[in-house]
């Protein structure tokens, strides 16, 4: 097997993992693909040592996460720079920035799916970045609160609050989505796989 073939196989093995991390952090699929491509180009530069490393998965996750966080902060800074330059008001920046991302996701073809898992995935993508990013890092990437605080350059208390708010928003939004489904607004394929478990566990949660 040539080096190019080995690298292609390597990408086939890890592409879904890298892309999943990127798309859950960034929401936009085209941006996630750009970041995934950058991750694999970095991996190619170190392929000789990564090829047989047992920690390659962790390395890829870490690089993907860092590139996504850089990407988000760059987007946020640039958006702020231009919005302040052209509009001159900075009071609603955060909200407006977040709403643009939500709007992006809907234009990306985030149509309501009949599958509850897809509903959950879509609900997760609707969360504002301040809640979604720490939530994804905590539950999918298994980073600790302290690590997330260091990565996002925020305080530990803020990370904990954002994650709690994120979970709460996820629960509320998902409940609304599933209720809408049951009311017949969309086609529903009832229980399949983890569907009933998800619905039942959601209903059992009482604040």
Partner 1 sequence: MNESYEKQLEAWAETALKQLPPRTAPATLIPGVMRAIVERETRPWWRKSWMGWPTWFKTLFVVLSAAVGLTMVRLCTVISAEAVQTVTSTRPYILGQKFVLACFEMIVSSAAYLWNSILSLPTPYLVGLGLIVALAYAGCVGAGLAIHRLVRSEPFSQ
Q: List contacts with partner 1 (CB under 8 A).
A: 4, 7-8, 11-12, 15-20, 23-24, 29-31, 33-37, 40-41, 44, 71, 74-75, 77-78, 81, 117, 120-121, 124, 135, 139-140, 164, 167-168, 170-171, 194, 197-198, 201-202, 205-207
Token readout for 53 is 């490393």
Task: Provide the minimum distance between the beta carbon of 123 and partner 1 in the complex, in angstroms, as a whole number.
Answer: 10
In terms of CB distance, is 45 or 183 closer to partner 1?
45
Q: CA torsion 124→195→29→42, rounded to 10°?
A: 90
Q: Which residues contact 68 (CB under 8 A, 6 or more apart)?
A: 21, 22, 25, 26, 35
CB distance 198 to 120 below 8 Å: yes
The CA–CA distances, whole Å, from 77 to 37, 72, 93, 94 equal 23, 9, 11, 11
Angle, nearest 10°, between helix axes 156-182 and 195-204? 110
Task: Provide the minimum distance between the beta carbon of 100 and partner 1 in the complex, in angstroms, as a whole number.
Answer: 12
Task: Provide the minimum distance between the beta carbon of 157 and partner 1 in the complex, in angstroms, as a whole number.
Answer: 14
Size (the chain), residues: 207
In terms of CB distance, is 130 or 184 closer to partner 1?
130
In terms of CB distance, is 59 or 140 closer to partner 1?
140
In terms of CB distance, is 17 or 154 closer to partner 1?
17
In terms of CB distance, is 66 or 77 closer to partner 1?
77
Task: Provide the minimum distance between the beta carbon of 168 and partner 1 in the complex, in angstroms, as a whole number.
Answer: 7
Token readout for 146 is 């302290």
Token readout for 152 is 């996002």
Task: Provide the minimum distance between the beta carbon of 92 and partner 1 in the complex, in angstroms, as a whole number.
Answer: 22
Determine the Cα–Cα distance for residues 47 and 196; give it in Å rounded to an integer.
43
In terms of CB distance, is 112 or 171 closer to partner 1?
171
Place of tokens 């902060």: 73
Determine the Cα–Cα distance for residues 95 and 104; give it in Å rounded to an integer.
14
CB distance 135 to 124 below 8 Å: yes
Task: Provide the minimum distance between the beta carbon of 64 and partner 1 in the complex, in angstroms, as a whole number.
Answer: 12
């Amino acid at each position: 097997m040539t080096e190019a073939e080995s690298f292609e196989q390597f990408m086939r093995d890890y592409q879904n993992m890298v892309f999943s991390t990127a798309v859950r952090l960034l929401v936009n699929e085209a941006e996630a693909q750009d970041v995934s491509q950058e991750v694999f180009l970095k991996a190619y530069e170190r392929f000789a040592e990564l090829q047989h490393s047992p920690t390659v998965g962790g390395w890829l996750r870490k690089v993907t996460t860092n590139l996504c966080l850089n990407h988000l902060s760059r987007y946020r800074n640039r958006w702020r720079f231009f919005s302040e330059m052209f509009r001159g008001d900075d009071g609603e920046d955060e909200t407006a920035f977040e709403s643009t991302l939500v709007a992006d996701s809907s234009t990306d073809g985030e149509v309501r799916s009949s599958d509850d898992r897809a509903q959950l995935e879509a609900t997760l993508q609707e969360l504002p970045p301040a809640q979604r990013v720490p939530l994804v890092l905590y539950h999918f990437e298994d980073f600790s609160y302290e690590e997330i605080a260091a990565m996002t350059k925020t305080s530990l208390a803020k990370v904990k609050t954002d994650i709690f708010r994120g979970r709460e928003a996820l629960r509320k939004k998902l409940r609304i989505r599933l209720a809408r489904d049951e009311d017949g607004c969309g086609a529903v394929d009832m229980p399949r796989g983890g569907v009933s478990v998800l619905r039942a566990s959601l209903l059992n949660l009482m604040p």
